[in-house]
Structure 1
């Protein structure tokens, strides 16, 4: 096999792994609303216990891999930025779920492709393929349908916080795309730990029901999985498509809310969510060709 063929195979393999990780991340993140609204504890209590358990699980995972030094001391400025910015996002996301519907938070997050792609274009000069651009248009169409069906029922404070989280996630995706050597676990732990003292200051996390602490412990584990798979996947897939794959959360989150919380989304949410899902799936194939083209550079004639 020629060196060009080997390189092409490696690129394809890395891309496939990235897509898989991002899909796992989206599915896991889609449970956030279920955990947050499934307990009576306030937003700061949720942030505290999720952060404690997520940080603990992630640290144990890093230690078992023997990667404590590169993940924590090797974070550098990009890793510190991810941790600090991510903390702002978490502080916005949890109360957003408490103040508005799961469907509304999910649909607002679906606007991340446009933000991430625009940021990557401005800061990195990263080209967005035609199919990814069309996928973004399809995603916007789906979001528009959902928003139209939610007029009059939207909690503006909750939706505003969801928008802040969307901006944060788009920024993190671009940081990892620009600096793929940035560790993923270390910044995730930092993000959680930065909020622990604030949660103790503004909330009463030590006074909640022990049964709810157990639920939030599971939440922390799921968050650890979602954060690591998102960061690792974003290193292997272009920013625009990374955000589009994250939009898989849009149809999944309301479905879970319906099945578990009996939160019934309107028909517009179901229709719009289906359109977003189709747009995401169609966009996946659009990025494979550019990656393969890159692998042909320098190939033996």
Structure 2
């Protein structure tokens, strides 16, 4: 591997890890203020949308994103708005650990939805990991029965389903834009949040914190997309799992929020399932890549044009997952 490729890979890994660290602070931001969920949604969304649109303008991509905006992107806006509302509200009703670890099962739910809607059969590895992952989620939720936090867990599950739906859309329609739907999903929630609460009644001293919440999450989204361009998809997914254990740890350190034993046990099952499935997928992809590289195609060595086309397709696939 050349030094340039190594630097690209290291930079990509650093960016993805940084985004995971930032994403793990969602519960901290939400629970560190007295503002209600809709007030948090309003100020977070306002800042996130403004930054994302500014980023698109700065990169000269706003026009292309508007032109590429279609029905799949519109569906992403709807699912993203519903998921964001449930995401923030869930933190107000249950523990940070429960939300983060239930959210970790999103790839498994996406695999199930993809099979149900598009008949894309999941691999044996994904099916085994999904059974284990959902068992972990069931264990986490069981700890909330009778404890007054079941509504928060239900919202976390709903949010996870929305995220899984978005994953399926991008898998089925890989040319779907990403940044503009993210900004629009925040904008859509602004009048809804203003209807159910009064953002102007938010404690003045808390508005900078809520604005920072939206800003750092928009930056983290950009950081994740930039990092994903430099790494294989499987490695990006694996590094992103850092968010799962980090969120409960930060909640324990900063909020003194200790998760119950059922959450710890269920969370470990989810985390191990995700890491195991990603590593298995990555190993299989690497083995196939090495095998195909040692074989000469029937029509002779692959041409430079074909190789470039393959790389461009891979780059486009990577960008569509941002």
Indicate the TM-score class for this superposition, using the shorter chain for normalisation: 0.7 to 0.9
Whether contact under 8 Å (1:49, 1:217) holds in the other structure is yes
Q: What's the offset of the Cα at 1:89?
A: 1.2
Whether contact under 8 Å (1:132, 1:283) holds in the other structure is yes
1:75-125 residue CA offsets vs partner (Å, 9 max, x unmatched): 211111111221111122222211222222223323323321111123333
- Choose 1 or 2 for highest CA Rg: 2
Aligned twin of 2:122: 128
Superposition map of 1:61-100 within 5 A: 61-100=55-94
**Compared CA separation, residues 216 and 165, structure 1 to 2 (3 A):** same
Identify the range of structure 1 (87-96 vs 163-172) with the bigger mean alpha-carbon deviation. 87-96
Calculate the TM-score normalised by the size of structure 1: 0.81
Q: Which structure 1 segments of 5+ residues have no match? A: 1-9
Q: What's the offset of the Cα at 1:276?
A: 2.5
Whether contact under 8 Å (2:16, 2:240) holds in the other structure is yes
Q: CA RMSD in A?
A: 3.4
Aligned twin of 1:212: 206
Aligned twin of 2:35: 41
1:36-95 residue CA offsets vs partner (Å, 9 max, x unmatched): 111111111101110111011111211121111122342211111111221111122222
Does residue 29 (structure 1) correspond to residue 41 (structure 2)? The answer is: no
1:200-247 residue CA offsets vs partner (Å, 9 max, x unmatched): 22211122223211111111023213445667859x748xx95x8766
Whether contact under 8 Å (2:104, 2:274) holds in the other structure is no
Bigger RCO (CA 8 Å, 6+ sep) = 1
Aligned twin of 2:146: 152
Q: What's the offset of the Cα at 1:17?
A: 9.6
Choose from 187, 194, 198 the match for 2:192: 198
Q: Which structure 2 segments of 5+ residues have no match? A: 298-322
Aligned twin of 1:300: 296
**Compared CA separation, residues 141 and 161, structure 1 to 2 (3 A):** closer
Secondary structure of 2:117 counterpart: helix
**Compared CA separation, residues 68 and 202, structure 1 to 2 (3 A):** same
Superposition map of 1:1-301 within 5 A: 25-228=19-222, 237=233, 248-292=242-286, 293=288, 296=292, 300-301=296-297
Whether contact under 8 Å (2:133, 2:270) holds in the other structure is yes
Q: What's the offset of the Cα at 1:172?
A: 0.4
**Compared CA separation, residues 300 and 20, structure 1 to 2 (3 A):** farther
